[in-house]
């Protein structure tokens, strides 16, 4: 599988939180050759199951990678001299400083190309010229008359950013929605890795919805699937000029494995062991209280699910030039695959017992 093409297909598909149908279709086609069943659940998450070889009922590992991305939504259609413009609000954690002058697609009656428009610095008063625009200063210009806009767009229509994936130097790529399609790509690599390798556990690969707004797919899929254990895969902060050294990681330095309250120490260790078995370079990441990922929701579903968290270092998060190293994506896929191959019937009992021992010490 060509990782660039994989990432290109995944990132260039539009899927703001709440409108994931299109990306779900793309992922369905990617995963279909590798899994035994595919379905869409009540809130839109894509659930793919690859059966293990142990006798049923088998333990199941849930892999959660969210497929939604940040975007915008039309909140008002406004007129200026016969032309129609759109005022928007954010869907998820949009960085207001960088949406001016972006290319967008408005998902109206049909997909319409537009630009995020405002006034050039020449036309702004001095005190405004070096400040970022707010939502009240920005409109989408579709190049259409008010009548044409009204015929094609309504309040509540989703808007996605439009940006092709570009190759930087080496194995680096840059584009939109690498948060979190890089992880969806990694799960795809994992499923490919498992072809021809025996594994006892069932693998439930879930492309979750609405992570950017409320971790919706993580909570609901973990409840419905009731896995024995789970791993969330998401991007983490890449090192670069100005980034703090403590919780930012080199692009190309391998995936991160999280330790912190949202993960089970046994899952952390199992992921470390899998990395050791592959002689793969990985880094430990830490979070206090809230990891900001699907792991937060997975962990407390049902009676509690031992959860791990794997990260792919990414620079410029929530911008249209998010950048990752494709080696990290591939490594993350292999790391997950190796974890799965190594899971046995005693795994849950073992990590639970280890917790009890730690308590005694």
Partner 1 sequence: MNELIKKLVEAYGPSGFEDGMRDLIRPEIEAYADEISVDALGNLIAVKKGSGGGLKVMIAAHMDEIGVMVTHITQDGFLRFTNIGGVLPHNLMGSRVQFANGVIGVISSDRLEDRSKIHPLTKFFIDVGASSPDDCPVGVGDAAGFIRPFLAQGKRLTAKAMDDRIGCVVAIETLKRLKTTPHDVYFAFTVQEEVGVRGAMTAANHLDPDVGIALDVTLTGDVPEARPMAISLGQGAAIKVKDSGMIAHAGLVRLMKQRAEAAQISYQLEVLDGGSTDARSMQIANGGTAAGCISIPCRYVHSQSETVDADDVESCIKLLVEILANPINL
Distance in Å, CB of 78 to partner 1, minimum: 8
Backbone angles phi, psi at 184, to 5 degrees: -60, -40
Other C-beta atoms within 10 Å of 97: how many?
10
The answer to whether the CB of 208 falls within 8 A of the CB of 65 is: yes
| Interface residue with partner 1, options 21, 25, 129, 284 (CB under 8 A) | 21
Non-local CB neighbours of 352 within 8 Å, separated by 6+ positions: 266, 306
Any contact of residue 271 with partner 1 (CB under 8 A)?
no
What does the alpha-carbon distance between residue 48 and residue 63 come to, in Å, rounded to a whole number? 10
Q: Which is nearer to partner 1, 76 or 286 (CB)?
A: 76
Q: Which is nearer to partner 1, 117 or 190 (CB)?
A: 117
From the list 211, 212, 330, 338, the catalytic residue is: 211
| Interface residue with partner 1, options 219, 237, 249, 268 (CB under 8 A) | 219
Distance in Å, CB of 216 to partner 1, minimum: 6
Q: Which is nearer to partner 1, 213 or 281 (CB)?
A: 213
- Segment contacting partner 1 by CB under 8 A, of 5-13, 71-79, 277-285, 288-296: 71-79
| Interface residue with partner 1, options 54, 115, 224, 280 (CB under 8 A) | 224
Non-local CB neighbours of 40 within 8 Å, separated by 6+ positions: 24, 46, 47
Binding mask 176-215 for partner 1 (x = CB under 8 A): ----------------------------------x--xx-
**∠ CA 67-73-77, rounded to 5°:** 160
Residues 119-158 that bind partner 1 (CB under 8 A): 136, 154-156
Q: Which is nearer to partner 1, 74 or 305 (CB)?
A: 74
Non-local CB neighbours of 90 within 8 Å, separated by 6+ positions: 70, 72, 73, 96, 135
Q: Where are the beta strands (DSSP E) in 118-161?
A: 139-145, 158-161
| Interface residue with partner 1, options 12, 41, 95, 148 (CB under 8 A) | 41
What does the alpha-carbon distance between residue 45 and residue 57 come to, in Å, rounded to a whole number? 24
- Segment contacting partner 1 by CB under 8 A, of 86-94, 96-104, 273-281, 286-294: 86-94
Count of residues engaged in binding partner 1, rule: CB under 8 A? 30
Q: What is the 3-state secondary structure (H, E, C) of 37-102?
A: EEEECCCCCEEEEECCCCCCCCCEEEEEEECCECEEEEEEEEEECCEEEEEEEEECCCCHHHCCCC
- Segment contacting partner 1 by CB under 8 A, of 70-78, 199-207, 286-294, 333-341: 70-78
Q: Which is nearer to partner 1, 223 or 316 (CB)?
A: 223
What does the alpha-carbon distance between residue 197 and residue 79 come to, in Å, rounded to a whole number? 60
| 127 labelled catalytic | no
**DSSP3 helix / strand / coil % (the chain, rounded to 5):** 35, 30, 40
| Interface residue with partner 1, options 15, 19, 144, 268 (CB under 8 A) | 19
What does the binding site for partner 1 look like in residue numbers (CB under 8 A)? 17-19, 21, 41-43, 45, 73-77, 87, 89, 91, 136, 154-156, 210, 213-214, 216-217, 219-221, 223-224
Catalytic residue positions? 211
């Amino acid at each position: 599988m060509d990782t660039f093409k994989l990432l290109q297909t995944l990132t260039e598909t539009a899927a703001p939180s709440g409108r994931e149908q299109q990306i779900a279709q793309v992922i369905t086609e990617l995963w279909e050759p590798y899994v035994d069943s595919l379905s869409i659940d009540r809130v839109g998450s894509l659930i793919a199951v690859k059966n293990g070889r142990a006798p049923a009922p088998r333990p199941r590992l849930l892999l959660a990678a969210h497929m939604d991305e940040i975007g915008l939504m039309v909140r008002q259609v406004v007129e200026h001299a016969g032309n129609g413009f759109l005022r928007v609000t954010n869907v998820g954690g949009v960085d207001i400083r960088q949406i001016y002058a972006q290319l967008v697609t408005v998902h109206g009656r049909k997909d319409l190309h537009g630009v995020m428009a405002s006034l050039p610095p020449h036309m702004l008063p001095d005190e405004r010229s070096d400040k970022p625009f707010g939502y009240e200063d920005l409109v989408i210009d579709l190049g259409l008359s008010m009548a044409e806009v009204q015929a094609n767009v309504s309040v509540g229509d989703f808007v996605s950013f439009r940006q092709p994936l570009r190759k930087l130097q080496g194995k680096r790529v840059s584009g939109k929605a690498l948060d979190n399609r890089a992880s969806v790509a990694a799960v795809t690599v994992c499923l490919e890795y498992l072809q021809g390798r025996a594994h006892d556990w069932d693998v439930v690969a879930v492309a979750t919805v609405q992570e950017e707004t409320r971790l919706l797919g993580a909570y609901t899929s973990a409840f419905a699937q009731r896995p024995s254990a789970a791993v969330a895969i998401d991007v983490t902060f890449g090192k670069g000029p100005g980034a703090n050294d403590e919780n930012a990681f080199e692009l190309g330095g391998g995936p991160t494995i999280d330790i912190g309250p949202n993960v089970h120490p046994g899952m952390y260790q199992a992921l470390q062991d899998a990395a050791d078995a592959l002689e793969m370079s990985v880094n430990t990441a830490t979070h206090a209280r809230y990891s900001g990922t699907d792991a937060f929701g997975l962990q407390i579903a049902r009676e509690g699910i031992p959860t791990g968290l794997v990260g792919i270092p990414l620079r410029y998060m929530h911008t249209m030039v998010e950048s990752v190293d494709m080696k990290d994506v591939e490594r993350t896929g292999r790391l997950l695959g190796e974890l799965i191959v190594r899971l046995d019937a005693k795994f849950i009992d073992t990590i639970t017992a280890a917790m009890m021992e730690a308590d005694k010490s």
